[in-house]
Amino acid sequence: MNTYARNKARNPTDEFQTLDMGLVTALVHIGYPLKKIVPIDRKKVTFFFENADDLQAAIAAYHDGSLQVEPRKYFDDLKALKTRIHDTIDNNYEN
């Protein structure tokens, strides 16, 4: 059972959630908007996307290595994602 199917079984809503930062960066890179980031603790977050009809195919392409990315843009997307994560954690754990 793939990540999408397991997630759908646990979370039968219209959201896909994952902890996999590589997958999240790839999904953002190919145009899936990140819905929200929810901190689990000071070092870990869960990422949420809207379930789209073609999301399962994109996730499968990521896992089987067939997903094509532009390396420089992927790296830029990763840096932007890390900034969002740090901002989210900082906002949730302010003193």
The answer to whether residue 4 scores a pLDDT higher than 50 is: no
Q: What is the pLDDT of residues 15-55, one digit of tens each?
A: 999 999 999 999 999 999 999 999 999 889 999 999 988 99
34 burial via Cβ count (<10 Å: 0-12, 13-18, 19+):
middle
* CA gap 16, 7 in Å, rounded: 7
Q: Residue 89 half-sphere exposure, CB side, CA atoms within 13 Å?
A: 13
In the chain, domain spans? 3-92
Report pLDDT digits (tens) over 52-89.
Answer: 889 999 999 999 999 999 999 999 999 999 999 999 99
Which structure tokens are listed for 39?
A: 């901190």
Give the distance from CA 14 to its chain's centroid: 15
